[in-house]
């Protein structure tokens, strides 16, 4: 894997990251905006996700529906995502078709219409998406846990927003959000694939340089203190399955503790992929909690979740409890396993295995051209590309004493939220 990248900043403040990969005649083009639910306030939750949807509703140059057909016809794919810290749009196309993504993204960076009728139509779609998620036990449980884990930080709010806010947000709210955050000074263009850097830079300059860049207002964010007493949440609803979720405050991605927790997660539950595209599967059957819960028929599954974020977010362990077992017994087993790593160091051989699995999953998620372009921009949202390049070395530097110290700081039971979804069986 060639890790050399070229970084440029255009006169309007747009950061451009280019990485030549000549293994296949494909180019992946991403535009990242530093805006997500972290930038939202009460009354406007979900506005970033809604604005992302509106970016597919057309510009005068590219009316709605035209691009979808054009990209499909050219053999490409495209999509968009909104998260806690960012919103991103991408296209992966045959190399000779790169002009279309460049024209599309530079145009909708500045010229999206936000037609009032389309806003109202999309309101129905967004609310339906939110209501559909509310039928999922884990969505309801995790939302309750986020609200308990954070009292002030906007990370407490679901990216989808609340129903009340989705009903009240107006077209001008969306358009002003778009005009504030979708501008070159708040964006990163990341391109990887089969091109020559100088020629690609000229193409990007031609499309993006004339778009005016404006300073983005600073968001004042109040950082929550770590909990000092366990919060206990119970959610009841229709279903057949009991879920147990344990959640601790996770360190920011640019903290040394983030890498320590990554190894601890791999040891406890199996490695977590940071890449939404995956790229390979790593079994978690050697993890401590799989052996103590799934193999001993206390649980159907156990998974961990750790996300790279600007501010400290959450580390979750989610367990699907077997129907014939009590969640209290599952909790006791988890606590016993965590107590072991809080009281004595993990052996170096166990650390090496956990690091190897986390490294393998990371490598699988970095293989193809789309993933390479993803990492260029993604790492810029919370740090920079050096974070990606040094990721494996940070994991390999883990030692028994370092992990013991991190576990004792990050995983005490009094600093967590314990959430349980209890099914009301037989109800529709």
pLDDT at position 428: 38
Using CA atoms, how far apart are residues 376 and 373, in angstroms rounded to an integer? 5
Q: Tell me 390's DSSP state.
A: H
Tally of CA atoms within 13 A in the half-sphere of 192 that contains its CB: 22
Quick check: 271 and 215 in contact, CB under 8 A?
A: no
Cβ neighbours, 10 Å, residue 281: 9
| Beta strands at 15-20 and 187-193: parallel, antiparallel or unpaired | parallel
Tally of CA atoms within 13 A in the half-sphere of 371 that contains its CB: 19
Residue pLDDT tens, the chain, 428 long = 456 899 999 999 999 999 999 999 999 999 999 999 999 999 999 999 999 999 999 999 999 888 788 888 888 999 999 999 999 999 999 999 999 999 999 999 999 999 999 999 999 999 999 999 999 999 999 999 999 999 999 999 999 999 999 999 999 999 999 999 999 999 999 999 999 999 999 999 999 999 999 999 888 899 999 999 999 999 999 999 999 999 999 999 999 999 999 999 999 999 888 876 555 567 788 899 999 999 999 999 999 999 999 999 999 999 999 999 999 999 999 999 999 999 999 999 999 999 999 888 887 777 789 999 999 999 999 999 999 999 999 999 999 999 999 999 999 999 999 999 999 975 43
Using CA atoms, how far apart are residues 354 and 45, in angstroms rounded to an integer? 38
Q: Sheet containing 77-82: give its strands across.
A: 6-9, 15-20, 187-193, 26-33, 87-94, 77-82
Residue 354 has which token pair?
Answer: 């956990």
Residue 314 has which token pair?
Answer: 């959450």
Q: All domains of the chain, ordered by start, with CATH?
A: 6-208 (3.30.830.10), 231-423 (3.30.830.10)
């Amino acid at each position: 894997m060639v890790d050399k990248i070229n970084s440029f900043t255009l006169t309007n403040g747009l950061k451009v990251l280019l990485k030549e990969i000549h293994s296949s005649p494909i180019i992946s083009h991403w535009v990242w905006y530093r805006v997500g639910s972290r930038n939202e306030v009460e009354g406007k939750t979900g506005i970033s996700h809604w604005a992302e949807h509106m970016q597919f509703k057309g510009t005068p140059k590219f009316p709605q529906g035209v691009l979808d057909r054009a990209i499909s016809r050219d053999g490409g794919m495209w999509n968009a995502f909104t998260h806690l810290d960012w919103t991103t749009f991408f296209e992966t196309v045959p190399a000779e078709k790169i002009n279309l993504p460049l024209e599309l993204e530079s145009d909708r960076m500045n010229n999206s219409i936000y037609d009032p009728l389309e806003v109202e139509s999309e309101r129905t779609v967004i609310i339906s998406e939110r209501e559909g998620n509310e039928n999922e036990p884990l969505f309801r449980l995790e939302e309750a846990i986020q609200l308990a884990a954070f009292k002030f930080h906007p990370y407490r709010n679901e990216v989808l927003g609340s129903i009340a806010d989705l009903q009240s947000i107006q077209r001008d709210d969306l358009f002003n959000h778009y005009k504030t955050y979708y501008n070159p000074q708040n964006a990163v263009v990341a391109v990887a694939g089969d091109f020559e850097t100088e020629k690609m830079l000229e193409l990007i300059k031609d499309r993006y340089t004339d778009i005016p860049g404006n300073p983005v207002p600073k968001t004042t964010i109040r950082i929550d203190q770590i909990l000092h007493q366990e919060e206990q949440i119970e959610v009841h609803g229709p279903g057949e399955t009991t879920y147990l979720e344990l959640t601790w405050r996770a360190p920011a991605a640019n903290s040394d503790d983030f890498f320590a927790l990554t190894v601890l997660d791999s040891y406890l539950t199996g490695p977590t992929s940071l890449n939404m595209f995956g790229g390979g599967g790593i079994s978690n059957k050697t993890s401590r909690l799989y052996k103590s819960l799934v193999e001993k028929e206390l649980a159907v599954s156990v998974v961990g979740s750790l996300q790279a974020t600007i501010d400290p977010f959450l580390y979750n362990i989610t367990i699907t409890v077997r129907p014939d077992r009590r969640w209290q017994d599952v909790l006791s087993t988890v606590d016993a396993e965590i107590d072991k790593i809080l009281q004595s160091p993990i052996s170096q051989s166990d650390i090496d295995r956990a690091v190897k699995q986390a490294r393998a999953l990371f490598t699988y998620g970095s293989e193809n051209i789309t993933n390479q372009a993803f990492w260029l921009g993604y790492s810029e949202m919370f740090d920079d590309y050096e974070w990606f390049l040094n990721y494996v070395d940070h994991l390999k530097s883990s030692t028994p004493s370092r992990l013991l110290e991190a576990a004792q700081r990050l995983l005490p039971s009094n600093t967590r939220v314990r959430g349980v979804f209890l099914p009301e069986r037989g109800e529709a």
